[in-house]
Structure 1
Amino acid sequence: MSLDATLWVWKSRIPQKTKGAFKSLKKLVLLSLADRAGEDHTCWPSINRLVEDTELDRKTVVKILAELQEDGLIKDTGERKGHTKQVKVYQLIGVNGREERVPRMEQFQKRNSPKYGTGNSPKDGTGNSPKDGTRNLPIESINESINKNTWFSFKKLKAELSLVTDSETIQRISESPWLEREKNAFEKFNANRNHSDDMMIYHFVDWLLKNMSKYEQPTLATQTNTATAKAGNQKGMSDKQIHAFAQKLSHLPEIASKYAEGNESYEQLAAKLAKKLNNPTDCKKLEPYLRQVGFTGVLNGVLVS
Structure 2
Amino acid sequence: MSLDATIWAWKVRQKQKKGGSIKPLKKLVLLSLSDRAGEDHCAYPSVARLVEDTEMDRKTVLKIIDELIEDGLIVDTGERKGRTKQVKVYQLMGVNGRETVPTTVLFDAGNDDLNSPNSGTVPTTEQFQQFHERVPTIPLKSPNVGTRNLSKNLSLESKNKKDWFCFKKLREEIYLADDSIDFESIMNSKWAEREKRAFEIYNAEKTMSDDLMIYHFTDWLINAYRTKYSNNQNSTSEKPSSTGSKSQQLSEKQIHSFAQKLSQHPEFASKFSEPGESYDKLAARIAVKLEDPAQAKKWESYLKQVGFSGSLAGNAA
Pick the structure with greater CA Rg.
2
The question of a shared fold, defined as TM-score above 0.5 by the shorter chain, is answered with: no
Q: Whose RCO is larger (CA < 8 A, sep 6+)?
A: 1
Which TM class, normalised by the smaller chain length? 0.3 to 0.5
TM-score, structure 1 normalization:
0.35
Considering fraction of residues, name the structure with more helix. Answer: 1
TM-score, structure 2 normalization:
0.34
